[in-house]
Amino acid sequence: MSIGDKLTPIAESFTLKDHTFAVLRAAILDMDIYSPNADLRLDERKLADKLGISRTPIREALARLAQEDLVQIIPRKGVFVCRKTRQEILEMIITWAALESMAARLATENATDADLAALRKFAMKHSSDAVRADIEEYSDANIKFHQMILELSGCALLGSTAEGLLIHMQAIRRRTMGESDRALKSVVDHMEIIEALLARNPNLAARRVREHTMRLHDHIRKTWTRIETIGSSKTTTS
C-alpha cells in the first residue's frame, strides 16, 4: 500500500500550505512503514494529482516533513518516508518505555476513577479484535491505549515528547502484532497494567508498563534480522 491510497482531493477553501502538510503527515502516520511491502517513495506529481493541487504546496509540505524527520529528500533519487534502522528502533522503544512508565506512575496519582474506568472499558472493547485476529484494528487500538496512559499522567510534556516517536512506534507495533501471538499477549499485559493503575500502585504500574514495552524490544532484537532503509547503506542485520 502506498501513501496515495490514503489521499483525497483538497478543497480550495483550505489554506493549501498548512493543510497539505497536515494531510500528508496524517497519511504517513497511517502507513505501515515497516511492512516488507511498504511503498516508501513519494512522487510529487502523483501526490499533486491525487490531491487536486499544484506541486508547489506539495514541495513545501515535503520540506516541512523532512524537518520533522518523517521523510528524506535525496537528490536525484526522490523523496522517501523515513524508516529507522534496527538499532534506532530499539533505542526508540527504550525511550518510549521510560516515558510511559513514568506516565503510568503519575496516572496512579492524577487519573480519576472515571478516567481509569474509561481506560479499562476501551481496552476490553478492543480486546475482541485480538481474539478475532483483526490485527490492523487491534494495533491501532493498542497505540491509542498507550497514548491514553500518557494523557492520564497529567504531564503534557511527556505526551508531546512521546509524540515525536509516535509514527515509528505505531508502525512498529502494527507489524509486530501479527508475530508470535503478540496481539493476545498484549491483551493480557494491558489488563495487568490496568489492574495496577486501579490499585493506585505507582511502582507496580510503572513496572508493568516498562516490562510490557521491553518485551516488544526483546522481540524485535531477536526476530527483526534485516531492515532496509532508503537512500543509504544503512541495512542492518543481527
pLDDT grade for 236, boundaries at 50, 70 and 90: very low
- For the ranges 124-128, 129-133, 201-205, 223-227, the lowest mean pLDDT is seen at 129-133
The structural domains of the chain, with segments of one domain joined by +, span 3-81, 86-226
pTM above 0.85, yes or no: no
Which residues lie below 8 Å from residue 130, measured CB to CB, with a gap of 6+?
138, 177, 183, 184, 186, 187
pLDDT grade for 231, boundaries at 50, 70 and 90: very low
Digit-coded pLDDT (tens) for 179-224: 877 888 888 999 999 999 999 999 999 999 999 999 999 999 998 8
Burial (0-12, 13-18, 19+ Cβ within 10 Å), 126: buried
Instruction: Give the residue, 129 or 94, on which the prediction is more confident.
Output: 94
Instruction: Give the pLDDT confidence score for residue 164 in this predicted structure.
Output: 82
pLDDT grade for 174, boundaries at 50, 70 and 90: confident
3-81: CATH topology is Arc Repressor Mutant, subunit A (1.10.10)
Q: 86-226: what CATH class?
A: mainly alpha
- For the ranges 13-22, 108-117, 186-195, the lowest mean pLDDT is seen at 13-22
Instruction: Give the pLDDT confidence score for residue 130 in this predicted structure.
Output: 63
Which residues lie below 8 Å from residue 115, measured CB to CB, with a gap of 6+?
107, 152
- The angle, 0 to 180 degrees and rounded to 10, between the axes of the packed helices 113-131 and 135-152 is 160
- Assess whether the region 3-81 and the region 86-226 belong to the same CATH fold: no
Digit-coded pLDDT (tens) for 48-86: 999 999 999 999 999 999 998 889 999 989 999 998 889
